[in-house]
Amino acid sequence: MKPYVLALVLAAASLLGVAAEADQPPPSGVVALSSSASTEVTKDLMTLTLTATRDGSDANSVQTSLKQALDTALAEARRVAKPGQLEPHTGNFSLFPRYTNKGVLTGWQGTAELVVEGRDMPAIGQLVGRIASMTVGHVGYGLSRELRERSEGELTAQAIARYRNKAADVAKQFGYTGYTIREVSVMSSEPPGGGVPMMRAGAMAMSQEAPLPIEAGKALVTVSVNGTVQLTTK
């Protein structure tokens, strides 16, 4: 068969397929359903960001001062570090010039961060009181992966059970004897962890004399099931 003849045959077959689909009636007895399950979970993960800011006329001196502040804080944090419970790591380290409105260089300013994350919130709060080289920049709370996965697993079972019960009830109300799943999706959601921005310098000097107050709060975890079912008579 010549190439152009074959192309015409394929095109005709495609058009016949489209026409056949257009002639088919929409499926009957198909119902879209949704269900969900939610629970409030106490946040068990704390993220603390300590910051140090330095100014000066010389870039090297500013950088050296920031590194000293960071090294001192990191050494203190490493003394009490525990995997999963209290884990320190360095954050942002930046150095940039300052200019006048006329573009004249007047000095340098830099910022360094130490991030401490873990589930041992009292230990993290105590650590803040022992670090004098940096101040609290931000405090955030969230759910650890283990707690989130455990909560989602329990909620998924509840949401699916509710979906199946709803499908059975709808089938019965419409005069059908049962149903089959056509398509379904399971999704989970958790609001992003809230954070508490903290003032620096003099306003946070007291944090170096006492532990940081801890109030983790709760997170709402939700699992949703959405899909369609085919109602059946058998």
Using CA atoms, how far apart are residues 78 and 157, in angstroms rounded to an integer?
41
Dihedrals phi, psi of 201, to nearest 5 degrees: 55, -130
Q: What is the largest CA-CA distance in the chain?
A: 90
Q: What does the pLDDT read at residue 207?
A: 42
Q: What is the pLDDT of residue 186?
A: 96
SS3 193: coil
Would you kindly state where each structural domain of the chain is located, as residue ranges? 45-143+194-215
pLDDT of res. 65:
96
Element (H, E) at 13: helix 3-23
Q: Which amino acid is at 50?
A: L
Q: What is the pLDDT of residue 9?
A: 45
pLDDT tens for the chain, 234 residues long, are 555 444 444 454 555 555 445 556 667 889 999 999 999 999 999 999 999 999 999 999 999 999 999 999 999 999 999 999 999 999 999 999 999 998 899 999 999 999 999 999 999 999 999 999 999 999 999 999 999 999 999 999 999 999 999 999 999 999 999 999 999 999 998 665 555 544 443 334 434 455 788 888 999 999 999 999 999 997
| Residue 46 near residue 170 (C-beta atoms within 8 A) | no
Question: In this structure, are residues 198 and 138 in contact, taking their beta carbons and an 8 Å threshold?
Answer: yes
pLDDT, position 200: 40
> Distance between CA 114 and CA 48 in Å, rounded?
8
Provide the 3-class DSSP secondary structure of residue 136: strand
Q: Residue 198: what pLDDT? A: 46
- Tokens for 52, please give them: 């140090």
What pLDDT does 213 receive? 84
Q: Is 201 left (phi over 0), alpha (psi -120 to 50) or beta?
A: left
- For the 45-143+194-215 domain, the top CATH level (class) is alpha beta
